[in-house]
Amino acid sequence: MLRIDRTGKKLVRLTKSTFADADHWERDLQAMICTDPDSFCEEIGENLWVIGQEVRPSEAVPDRIDILATDEDGTTVVIELKRGAHKLQMLQAISYAGMISKWPSDRFVQTLATNYKKSYDDARAEIEEHVGSDVSAINQDQRIILVAEDFDPALLIAAEWLHEIFEVDIRCYRLALSQEGGNDYLTCTCVYPPIEIAALTRGSEKIDRTSAPWKDWDEALKAIENPAVAAFIRAALASNQETRLYRRQVMYRIGGKRRFWVTCRPAFGYVWQLGRFDSDEQLWKTLLSTPNVKEVNDKRGLRFYLRTAADFDAFNRAVAQDLASTEFSEPDEEEVDGA
């Protein structure tokens, strides 16, 4: 790493160090990432939500995943950290991803609740806010992030083979530690795949995921048990309302920003409100039959339910008429939607 010396108009090379020489251990790096995951995620160009650290993937093994996370699409991300280089790092991560693939969604909720001392409902709300859907949408896919000071050539060759032949999403990030004036500086560089290829791969994966699990809305509606929910979806399709088939969702924008999405479950509509407006909680409690309104996202949003035809009518009327010119507080769409 180079420091720009403006006074001397020159580049000064910082002293390189290893994690061992600097007395940093894998657990130290793990703790630092989990204390401020946003900084680490921004450094590697990811949008991840940490579920927990030292997570046991199966009762059948004593091993633990360094960091378990989910991305904005609900894909599970296994993150393995190594000080130095270790050729078995990828084998570990692949076995963990395989075990995690068998997890039901509620186990992710419980893991987040346990690791961060939250209630089950709060943990569920945080996951659903991050992925932009109900919790059942997570863990449809798994991917791996390996972080190490260096990588054995055999590991990188295997990563390329798995990625290109079997479409396993594996990212390898090399850490570099530099020191100056008693301060430690860390850089994290993607060494596989090349970052441009990684971006293209992620884009194609999103397209693939949006095609499942229903081929069209007619098929998606077959699983809807509540006639009011089915009628709501049909009316939304007839009016060309913005929808996501792969999540069975209907979205609503106010002032050009997406402020509501309704995830249609078999028995009810699950509503997320992005941002707040004056007396919003009281409005929904007044309009709806059994809304169960709850603040989410650090009180920056709401979630509630639609169960009857009257509920759906009241919601549609409020969004189209009463709230059409309402000013919402942030967060805006880019902060929370993940679309």
pLDDT band at 206 (very low <50, low <70, confident <90, very high): very low
pLDDT in tens, 160-180: 999 888 888 999 999 888 888
Q: Where are the domains of the chain?
A: 2-209, 217-336
pLDDT band at 197 (very low <50, low <70, confident <90, very high): very low
Distances (CA, A) of 182 to 17, 178, 185, 243, 268: 12, 10, 10, 54, 58
Helix (H, G, I), strand (E, B) or coil at 206: helix
Question: E strands of 73-169, at which residues?
Answer: 76-82, 142-148
Q: How far apart are CA 178 and CA 187, in angstroms?
A: 8
Q: How far apart are CA 264 and CA 229, in angstroms?
A: 7
Other C-beta atoms lying within 10 Å of the C-beta of residue 301:
23
**Percent of the chain residues topping a pLDDT of 90:** 40
For domain 217-336, give the CATH number. 3.90.1150.20
Q: How far apart are CA 162 and CA 173, in angstroms?
A: 17
Please give the average per-residue pLDDT across 68-80, as a whole number.
91
Kindly tell me if the per-residue pLDDT of 114 is higher than 80.
yes
pLDDT for 330 equals 65
The segment with the largest mean pLDDT, out of 83-87, 190-194, 209-213, 320-324, is 320-324
Kindly tell me if the per-residue pLDDT of 1 is higher than 80.
no
Lowest mean pLDDT, pick from 68-72, 264-268, 309-313:
264-268
For the CA atoms of 128, 29, 98, 167, what is the dihedral angle to 10 degrees? 90
Q: How far apart are CA 68 and CA 86, in angstroms?
A: 20
Cβ-contact 57, 100 below 8 angstroms: yes
Please give the average per-residue pLDDT across 97-101, as a whole number.
95
- C-alpha 287, offset from chain centre: 32
Q: How far apart are CA 262 and CA 264, in angstroms?
A: 6
Q: How far apart are CA 280 and CA 241, in angstroms?
A: 23
Cis peptide before 227 (omega within 30 of 0): no
pLDDT for 210 equals 44
Q: In what order do the strands lie in the sheet with 269-274?
A: 243-244, 249-254, 257-264, 269-274, 301-306, 294-296
Lowest mean pLDDT, pick from 42-51, 71-80, 210-219, 330-339:
330-339
Q: DSSP code of 318?
A: I
Q: How far apart are CA 78 and CA 319, in angstroms?
A: 39
pLDDT band at 29 (very low <50, low <70, confident <90, very high): confident
Distances (CA, A) of 283 to 164, 243, 264, 316, 329: 52, 25, 22, 13, 16
Kindly tell me if the per-residue pLDDT of 203 is higher than 60.
no
pLDDT band at 200 (very low <50, low <70, confident <90, very high): very low
CATH 3.40.1350.10 applies to domain 2-209 = yes
Kindly tell me if the per-residue pLDDT of 335 is higher than 80.
no
pLDDT band at 76 (very low <50, low <70, confident <90, very high): very high
Please give the average per-residue pLDDT across 274-300, as a whole number.
86
Residue that wins the pLDDT comparison between 164 and 96: 96
Q: How far apart are CA 133 and CA 77, in angstroms?
A: 17
Kindly tell me if the per-residue pLDDT of 260 is higher than 60.
yes
